[in-house]
Amino acid sequence: NAGVMQNPRHLVRRRGQEARLRCSPMKGHSHVYWYRQLPEEGLKFMVYLQKENIIDESGMPKERFSAEFPKEGPSILRIQQVVRGDSAAYFCASSSRASPMRYFGPGTRLLVL
């Protein structure tokens, strides 16, 4: 029973490039959440999605960031024109409708040079 999967685990980008982070939720889970974590910091909520719907994107910067969870395939967090301040660990979590607990993936560590 595979858990939440994220890829890539590590991603290096130069300023101005695009970063695409993928998340496959746990089997049977239809709710996906993205969090950002800076070193020595807590988890900051970014966006909450269900299949083909963005439910809450209040934590996501208005510019350069977008997220989707298509009917088929993984959820994607996309960061355009990355800047050094985007360097962080990005965690995806999933949950089932019935349970409030979050199952986290291993994260993608993004480094912007």
Partner 1 sequence: GQQVMQIPQYQHVQEGEDFTTYCNSSTTLSNIQWYKQRPGGHPVFLIQLVKSGEVKKQKRLTFQFGEAKKNSSLHITATQTTDVGTYFCAGPLTQGGSEKLVFGKGTKLTVNP
Binding site for partner 1 (CB under 8 A): 33, 35, 40-45, 48, 55-56, 58-59, 91, 93, 100-107
Q: How far is the CB of 62 from partner 1 (least distance, A)?
A: 16
Nearer to partner 1, 14 or 58 (CB): 58
Distance CA 106, CA 84 (A): 22
Among residues 110, 75, 97, 106, the alpha carbon closest in space to that of 28 is found at: 97
Nearer to partner 1, 55 or 113 (CB): 55
Q: How far is the CB of 15 from partner 1 (least distance, A)?
A: 25
Distance CA 94, CA 20 (A): 18
Distance CA 3, CA 94 (A): 9
Nearer to partner 1, 85 or 100 (CB): 100
